Structure 1
Amino acid sequence: MDSSNAPTKKGRSCIKWTDAMDKAMLDVFVEYFNKGDRAQNGWKPHVYTAAVKKVMEKCTVELTKDNIIARSKTFDKHYVIVNNMLSQSGFGWDDDKNMISVEDDVWNNYAKANKDAASYRYKVIKYWDMISTLYNRDRATGEGARTANESTAEMAEEIANTTATNKDANSSTKDDEDRPKKRYRSDDSIATMLGDKLDNFTAVFKADAPEPPPKPASPEEIWALLGGIPELEDDQLLAIYDVLVADDRKFKSLLALPERMKKKWVLKKIST
């Protein structure tokens, strides 16, 4: 990885950057990135101050805010060039070697069209995961970007809302279980329900009620039957008439007999 900031400007000394210094600076950036202190075109002033302090304490070096800004711009350049390569077919990232992985023919074609990437064929760039997070403009400053704190806060709020909703739902369910059940029906539903109940009651009543006794034969029916039996004397007719009027079952029995047997049946009944 590059170990110096160039070109040197007035007010900024040229220093050699080590991996430990890079790590210390990036750790500070990640910390404040998660707090949402990333500005549109860089970091807020207090972030640079914290980075200077951290690198000086960790690595026992003297440096200024300008050194931090210059090194941050170097990482930004690395990200733009490498990320563009990784978006092309045939390019990958080797986590063990901390550099791009690509076949020679793919690289040669790409390098011809992208002169600024020529020195990146075997360039070692450590802490790529941190760099790709911090310098990804869509993630760091793009519209709709979220910090870790914002995501955590939203998650906490969602959990709280879900808990409250579940609590209300459980409370409502318990109240519903405790109170007597009440069902509301429209007028048509009530009429239908009452009609069904009445039909059921009628059916049960009819099933339990005894069948009414059969209607007895009228005197006219008895005389009509007796008038059809030949050769009966008046006394015999009157005698059997009294029997049939008093016992409808005997009338039904006589009615069911064949014509040839009716006279014998009558004579038998009045003789006993």
Structure 2
Amino acid sequence: MSAPKGKRVYLTWTDEMDSALLAVLVEHHNNGDHAQNGWKPHVYNAAIKNVRDKCNVEITKDNITSRCKTFDKHYEIISKILSQSGFGWDWDNNKLSMDSDDVWNRYVEGNKAAICYKTKVVKNWDAICTIYSTDHANGKGARTGAEDAQDSPEQDGDASPDLPPKRQRTGDAILCMLGDMKTSFNDALKSTEPLPMPQVTPPAEILAALQMIPDLGRCDMLKSYGKLILNERLFQALMELPMDMRKEWLLMLNEKNSN
């Protein structure tokens, strides 16, 4: 993409381009293709090719980095809202749902950065959850798919105030601490260090991952959801499988447990 000398080129992202980009990022996220500060080089190349092939648009690594920062911002703000009582996600209309305007007004009093999200449409929420929830849950400083050292002047209509530093999301970790704690009781007594909290995947991420599995029936999805929210290891095992093997594995799991 070229431009007159001295002028910047601004890229406007379409829904089609977002879908093409996120399809590649989800696939490589599940394969663990992350570098220390972003994606591995071949992931950028695959994303550039997929957007070119499906949308006939030329993009660059900087374009991808900038767009990933937008996705990361969406996840940080929306997931924080969804963790509060009175909020949900409207999958049909791709936006927040809430019990009442009073619930929203009370929330934004202390969260000004969220004001524009009351009616904001954010498509591909399931893919965004899949990619970004792990980094936020682990409290990593490096963003998946976004390199902090780069800040491309992309214009996508989603600019917002600076976000506060990330904090570790413990979720409902206390519910499974006894089962998942890696440090033995004796070692814990000897240690003066605080006990590590086990990672717990938010239910919204588990649901999003199940909804991405092709042709998974509603009943099988609900059975699988009931198992995966109670067993972190099962969800980790699911996410290690290629997409085309996940449905078969879940059906075998459901059948085994029903016998």
Match among 59, 65, 72 for residue 63 of structure 1: 59
Distance verdict in 2 for CA 1:40–1:100, change over 3 Å: farther
Structure holding more helix per residue: 1
Distance verdict in 2 for CA 1:21–1:86, change over 3 Å: same
Aligned residue runs from structure 1 range 74-85, under 5 A:
74-85=70-81
Provide the secondary structure at the position in 1 that maps to 2:96.
strand
Distance verdict in 2 for CA 1:86–1:63, change over 3 Å: same
1:122 aligns with 2:113: no
So what's the TM-score if we normalise by structure 2?
Answer: 0.50
Tell me the distance in 2 between the aligned counterparts of 1:149 and 1:69: 24
1:110 aligns with 2:107: yes
Query: Does structure 2 retain, via aligned residues, the 8 Å contact 1:33–1:134?
Result: yes
Q: CA RMSD in A?
A: 3.0
1:95 aligns with 2:91: yes
Query: Does structure 2 retain, via aligned residues, the 8 Å contact 1:38–1:44?
Result: yes
Provide the secondary structure at the position in 1 that maps to 2:120.
coil
Distance verdict in 2 for CA 1:11–1:45, change over 3 Å: farther
Tell me the distance in 2 between the aligned counterparts of 1:84 and 1:19: 24
Tell me the distance in 2 between the aligned counterparts of 1:53 and 1:140: 31
Distance verdict in 2 for CA 1:80–1:11, change over 3 Å: farther
Match among 11, 14, 21 for residue 17 of structure 2: 21
Query: Does structure 2 retain, via aligned residues, the 8 Å contact 1:38–1:140?
Result: no
User: Identity of paired residues, percent?
Assistant: 54
Per-residue deviation at 1:138? 5.1
Per-residue deviation at 1:12? 6.8
Per-residue deviation at 1:57? 1.2
Q: Deviations over 1:217-250 (max 9, x none)?
A: xxxxxxxxxxxxxxxxxxxxxxxxxxxxxxxxxx
Aligned residue runs from structure 1 range 49-60, under 5 A:
49-60=45-56
Q: Deviations over 1:70-92 (max 9, x none)?
A: 00110000000000000011110
1:135 aligns with 2:170: no
Tell me the distance in 1 between the aligned counterparts of 2:139 and 2:35: 7
The number of equivalent residue pairs is: 145
Per-residue deviation at 1:149? 6.8
So what's the TM-score if we normalise by structure 1?
Answer: 0.48
Q: What one-letter code is carried by the residue in structure 1 that aligns with 2:17?
A: M
Provide the secondary structure at the position in 2 that maps to 1:49.
helix
Distance verdict in 2 for CA 1:141–1:30, change over 3 Å: farther
Consecutive unaligned residues of structure 2, counting only runs of 5 or more, are 1-5, 141-197, 202-235, 250-259
Tell me the distance in 2 between the aligned counterparts of 1:37 and 1:46: 9
Per-residue deviation at 1:41? 3.3
Distance verdict in 2 for CA 1:18–1:49, change over 3 Å: same
Tell me the distance in 1 between the aligned counterparts of 2:71 and 2:35: 16
Tell me the distance in 1 between the aligned counterparts of 2:8 and 2:42: 19
Per-residue deviation at 1:13? 2.8
Runs of 4 or more off by more than 3 Å in structure 1?
Answer: 138-152
Provide the secondary structure at the position in 2 that maps to 1:68.
helix
Based on CA coordinates, which of the two structures has the bigger radius of gyration?
1
Tell me the distance in 2 between the aligned counterparts of 1:148 and 1:141: 22
Tell me the distance in 1 between the aligned counterparts of 2:74 and 2:237: 23
> Which one has more relative contact order, counting CA pairs under 8 Å at least 6 apart?
2
